[in-house]
Amino acid sequence: MTNKYMYFIANWKMFGGLKSINSLHKVVKFFKNFKKNKSIKIIYCPPSTLIRPMSKKLVNSKIEVGAQNCHEHETFGAFTGSINSMMLRSVGAKYIILGHSENRQSGETDKLINLKIKSALKSGLKVIFCIGETLKEKRKKITKQVLNKQINLGLNKINNKNNVIVAYEPVWSIGTGLIPKNNELYEIINFIKKKTKKNKILYGGSVNAKNIEQLKSINNLDGYLIGGASQDPKKFIDIIKKTYN
C-alpha cells in the first residue's frame, strides 16, 4: 500500500430507507475491533434522505458520511427538487460523489461536474470524483484519451486538489460483475496518478468479496468505491477483511 489510508466507500445509490440504517451497527462493531482500523477510512454515501439519521447513528464511530450528488448553485435558490453542497454539509455530509457515470449518462457534462466540484469544495466537502470509459470507448482503445478529457475538464481551475479523491470506474464494470485485468488496471491507475499528481485513486465497479482477492494485489490503489456489495453489511465487512488477510 503506497498511502496512509485505504478508503472503502459505500455508494448506496437510490437504495435504503430508515430501517436500512439499523444494520450499520454490525459495521460499527467490526470497525471498532478491527486491528487495521487506523489505516482505513470507511465512508457511507446514502441517499440524501438518510444523511442526517446516518450521521447520528455513526457519531463517535469514525465512520463518515457522504452525499451522492448536488446542484452546482452554491447558495439557496429557486431550483425545485435540488439540493446544494452547502445544504448537504449542514446535515452531516463530509464527502460527496460527483461525476458518477449514472449521472453522466443522464446528461451531466464535464463542465457541469466541474462547477459541482468547485461548489462542493467551497462548502467544505471532500470530493470523490468519478471518471471512466464506456465499453465502446474501451474497444476503440481510447480509454486514456477519455480519462484525460474527463480529468482536464472536471478539475479545470481547481486549486485545492488535496481534497479530491479520484475514483476510476469503468462504465462497463459497474453492476455487471466484470472487472478490468490487473495489468490494465495497474497501468490506468498509474496514468491517473501521474496526471493528477498527488491525488488518491480508487477503483470502483463490481467490487465484491471474491474479486477483492485479485484487486488487492494492485498496489497503486488507495481503496474502493463499492456499490451493490456495500448495502449488505456482511459483504462490505468481508471485502475489508479480505483486503488485509
Residue length, the chain?
Answer: 245
Under the binding rule (CB under 6 A), the answer on residue 43 touching ligand PGA is: no
Distance CA 194, CA 192 (A): 5
Distance CA 210, CA 228 (A): 14
The window from 14-22, 107-115, 140-148, 198-206 that contacts ligand PGA (CB under 6 A) reads: 198-206
Among positions 66, 170, 204, 233, the unique one binding ligand PGA when judged by CB under 6 A: 204
Among positions 10, 117, 212, 225, the unique one binding ligand PGA when judged by CB under 6 A: 225
The window from 66-74, 86-94, 168-176, 237-245 that contacts ligand PGA (CB under 6 A) reads: 168-176
Beta strand segments in the chain, E: 6-11, 40-45, 64-67, 95-98, 126-131, 164-168, 200-204, 223-226
Cell of 134: 464506456
DSSP letter, residue 38 = G
* Number of residues in contact with ligand PGA under rule CB under 6 A: 12
Among positions 226, 237, 239, 240, the unique one binding ligand PGA when judged by CB under 6 A: 226
Residue with the CB atom nearest ligand PGA in the bound state? 227
Please enumerate in sequence order all residues whose Cβ is within 8 A of that of 59, keeping only pairs 6 or more positions apart, or say none. none
Among positions 114, 143, 199, 206, the unique one binding ligand PGA when judged by CB under 6 A: 206
Under the binding rule (CB under 6 A), the answer on residue 170 touching ligand PGA is: no
Q: Which residues pair with 167 in a beta bridge?
A: 130, 202
Among positions 68, 227, 237, 243, the unique one binding ligand PGA when judged by CB under 6 A: 227
Q: Is 74 noted as a catalytic residue in this protein?
A: no
Q: Which residues pair with 67 in a beta bridge?
A: 96
Interface residue list for ligand PGA (CB under 6 A): 11, 169, 174-175, 204-207, 225-228
Would you please indicate which residues are annotated as catalytic (active-site) residues?
Answer: 100, 169
